[in-house]
Structures are given as structure tokens and as C-alpha cells.
Amino acid sequence: MTVYGYARVSTVGQKLEVQEEALHNAGCEVIYSEKFTGTTKERPQFIELMDTIDEGDTLVVTKLDRFARSTKDAIELVTELYERGVIVNVLNLGIIDRSTAAGKLMFNVFAAFAEFERDMIVERTQEGKAAARQKADFREGRPTIAKAQIDTAMMLLKDNSIRKVAQMTGLSVSTIQRYKKKREAAQ
């Protein structure tokens, strides 16, 4: 009877620590963590967890959308785990009791709201990007660096350290190093 936790973030820039701490505080003995978008089935840690978890074990997740990709997926996963004798505890919802009609109803409603919330975030993000594209000065991606700015940085490198030049020009250390290597290779 092991208490397992599962933590997932969608992008590499997001951090797992908050979820992992909540899972530790909830008494999880083993935590599986990964950085994968919820819309992909390629979740090796989740697959390993599903292969490991047995009857009498408990699975704890911080939120339903960290665990399932859609309402349909959540219902299928929770039903499968329930049939295997696994207790599912979603920290912001509580233990999911699929043994009663009311429990099934509440779970389905919560799953639908979790999917709706995720869809709304995606929609707002897309709307924001579309609005930004309408502006005349919109440029997608990183801003370009002016040749004059690079030339100035290379000139300053003759008498200053890379870190000092970065502070003086506002360029990052890695950008200065990259252009320095390019210049040295060209000579």
C-alpha cells in the first residue's frame, strides 16, 4: 500500500518544485515527475507509474489537468484505476469516490471544468498572440541585435571582461561569447 505522486509541467521553463512539495506534504512516498505537454501521450514517467501502481495503492496529483489530457481521458484513467483498486486523490478536489452515483457525477463535472479551464487558457493565449500580430511593430521571436551594438561590444572587449561588457551594453554574456567566437573563427 504505497502512496504515489505524479507531477507534470507542460513546458521546460515551468518548475516542478511546487507540485512536488505539495505531493510530499500529502504523504507521497514515491513521486514521478516529468516535463511534457498534457496533450501528448509521450509521458514515460506516467506510463511507468501506471505499470507500477497496484491494488490498495493511492495516486495523488495536485490538479486534474496535471494527470489527464481531457475530460474523456480523466474519466477513463480514474475508472481504470478505480477498477484496479487504486485510490485517486486530486489535492484540489479530494479523494475521488467512484463507488457512488454522486461521486461519479462530481468527478465528471470537475473533469469537464478542468478541461474547460485549460481550453480557456489556450484560447486567451492565442487571442493575445493574434492581437500582438496586428501591431505594426510586432516581431515574433527574439529581438534582433543591431550590428553597431555587436561592434561596440567587440571593441569594448579589448579592455574589459565579458561580464563587464555585458553590463555596459545590455547584451547577455552568452550573446557576447557567441559573437566573439564567430569573429575569432572568421579571422
Helix H segments across 134-146? none
Angle at 20 between CA 18 and CA 24, to 5 degrees: 120
Contact present, 62 and 3 (Cβ < 8 Å): no
Q: How many CB atoms lie within 10 A of CB 77?
A: 19
- Mark whether 161 is an active-site residue: no
Residue 42 CA to residue 19 CA, distance in Å, equals 20
**Of residues 10, 70, 99, 161, which has the active-site annotation?**
10
3-state helix, strand, coil in the chain (%, to 5): 55, 15, 35
Residues taking part in catalysis: 10
